[in-house]
Amino acid sequence: MDGVPRRNFLIGAGALLVAPLAAEAQQPVKPRIGYLMSNSAVIGRPVLAAFREAMQELGWNDGRNISIETRWANGEAEQLPVLVRELLTLNVELMVAGSSAATRASQSATTTIPIVMLASADAVGEGLVASLAHPGGNITGMTFLAGTEIASKQLELLREIAPAAARVAVLMNPRNASHAAFAVELKRAASKLGARLQIVRAGAADELADAFAAMAKDKAAALLVLTDAMFFGARQRITDLARSGALPAMYSQREFVDAGGLASYGPSLIDMSRRSAKHVDKILRGAKPRDLPVEQPTKFELVFNLKTAKDLGLTISKSVMARADDLIQ
């Protein structure tokens, strides 16, 4: 008689020990996302924060029902393939690529795992997708533009801001596959706008000083900086060099203006980051990248730094300032 209760007690105790293990085993596996950025964690913090916030609004909380594995190349493009391989060994279910270079590195490493572009310069022109409406592969997400027309608009605005500056330096990155097409478009626009272009190249941050020295040698009177992840990461250095050289400069992101640059015209990276989260959400819920159209920015911001304008001795006309989305004092 005494043995029966004891045996029942042992069985019951064993069941209590096993129950938590069984419950833990039944917990759904959190989807793991690889998040690859060309720049540093410090520079990319606001963009990542916007992405996480947008994901949370869509029901995905990092650390609770999703895991976001971040990797930062710190401006060293050659590190991107290494970082992609690291993420793939973690069996990520999806890659988020923060630049064209990050997308290309991811594309070279996998043709099956979905890749969401947080930002790319020209997804079609760079050959990352077949078309915006029908990407056709494992890549979708956000692209700055479908063509190079934005560069013409930036040059036009720069000519309005600094009409006396006819010789315009164009800062390009030879490692950026989209910049050659931008140069062609700018040369076409320059003839209509009465500008003479000086193409200056910098493929790494440590080449910027030489690039600006070349601008000074050829007497550039203004500067247009093309969209590029490396330039974005080095924006403080670039804006400092532009100001020290007394160059009125036009950029593609307002973050350059926040860093002391004169003016910017282009889409918001924060907004693009939030919108890329919607692509991630749809894929995690079963959609295929090839069926999700690549999206372009819907709003382009014109931002001026009035203090920098004053330091450069520029008077921006009221008609131009009236078109601005923001004026930094």
- The reply to whether 254 and 274 lie within a common domain is no
Residue 264 CA: distances (Å) to CA of 25, 150, 222, 327: 52, 11, 14, 11
CATH code for the domain in which residue 249 is found? 3.40.50.2300
- What's the predicted TM-score (pTM) here? 0.77
Domain-embedded: residue 3? no
Domain-embedded: residue 40? yes
Residue 37 sits in which domain range? 32-144+268-291
Task: Of 108, 115, 75, 116, give the one whose Cα is nearest residue 274.
Answer: 116
* Stretch (H or E) spanning 206: none
pLDDT at position 24 is 46
Task: Of 167, 176, 155, give the one whose Cα is nearest residue 99.
Answer: 176
Backbone angles phi, psi at 61, to 5 degrees: -110, 120
> Would the pLDDT of 308 be above 80?
yes
> Would the pLDDT of 51 be above 90?
yes
Read off the amino acid at residue 34: G
**Alpha carbons 28 and 223: distance in angstroms, whole number:** 53
- The reply to whether 280 and 155 lie within a common domain is no
Backbone angles phi, psi at 97, to 5 degrees: -110, 125
| pLDDT (tens digit per residue) in 125-165 | 888 999 999 999 999 999 987 567 888 999 999 999 999 99
Domain-embedded: residue 2? no
- Pairs from 58-66 (Cβ < 8 Å, separation ≥ 24): 58/277, 58/278, 58/281, 59/281, 60/280, 60/281, 60/284, 64/30, 65/28, 65/30, 65/31, 66/30, 66/31, 66/32, 66/33, 66/284
> Would the pLDDT of 267 be above 90?
no
Number of domains in the chain: 2
- The reply to whether 71 and 197 lie within a common domain is no
- The reply to whether 167 and 111 lie within a common domain is no
**DSSP states of 165-177 as a string?**
--EEEEEE-TT-T
pLDDT at position 146 is 53
- The reply to whether 45 and 108 lie within a common domain is yes
- The reply to whether 261 and 274 lie within a common domain is no
| pLDDT (tens digit per residue) in 22-49 | 444 455 678 999 999 998 999 899 999 9
